[in-house]
């Protein structure tokens, strides 16, 4: 009596269905770059108070200057966005995002306050942005 095995038929059917599924599992992220312009974002402003002197009928004074409490500077950079082509992005370089703070500084003439001015207080890194480049995915990705 001859024995009938289902294993060869099962293996062939599994291979026929699994091969396209394995090919469809492409690990290429399909991304490209999109440029972003540099930005300056001002925080709320405080008023650097001036002084008004009245001498007779003449008013002498300094202006009241608006002083931003902070400014965030983000340099021009690129971001990754979806693409239809088989490309991926890579980092070329990085630049810091700067947080710049200002303060009102009192101006004096001897011991008499004559006004105030907006002065730079601090500059520090608050983040980083990347310069990206799109490159083709290699075979197998």
pLDDT at 136 over 70: yes
| pTM of the predicted protein model | 0.65
Query: Among residues 121, 104, 101, which one has the least CA distance to residue 49?
Result: 104
Q: 9 or 66: which carries more pLDDT confidence?
A: 66
Q: What is the total residue count of the chain?
A: 141
Strands (E), the chain: 31-36, 39-42, 45-48, 52-55, 58-61, 65-68, 70-74, 77-82, 87-109, 112-136
20-35 CB burial, b ≥16 within 10 A, e <16: eeeeeeeebeebbbee
Residue 63 has what pLDDT?
60
pLDDT in tens, 102-114: 998 877 778 776 7
Residue 48 has what pLDDT?
79
What does the DSSP 8-state code read for residue 24?
H
What does the DSSP 8-state code read for residue 8?
H
Sheet holding 112-136: strands in order across?
Answer: 39-42, 70-74, 87-109, 112-136
């Amino acid at each position: 009596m001859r024995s009938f095995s289902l294993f060869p038929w099962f293996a062939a059917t599994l291979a026929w269905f699994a091969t396209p599924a394995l090919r469809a599992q492409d690990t290429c992220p399909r991304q490209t770059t999109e440029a972003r312009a540099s930005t300056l974002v001002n925080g709320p402003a405080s008023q650097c108070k001036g002084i008004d002197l009245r001498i007779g009928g003449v008013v002498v004074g300094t202006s009241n200057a608006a002083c931003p409490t902070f400014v965030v500077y983000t340099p021009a950079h690129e971001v990754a966005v979806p693409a239809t082509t088989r490309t991926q992005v890579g980092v070329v370089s990085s630049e810091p995002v700067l947080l710049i703070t200002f303060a009102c500084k009192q101006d004096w003439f001897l011991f008499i306050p004559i006004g105030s001015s907006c002065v730079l207080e601090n500059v520090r890194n608050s983040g980083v942005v990347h310069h990206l480049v799109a490159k083709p995915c290699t075979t197998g990705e």
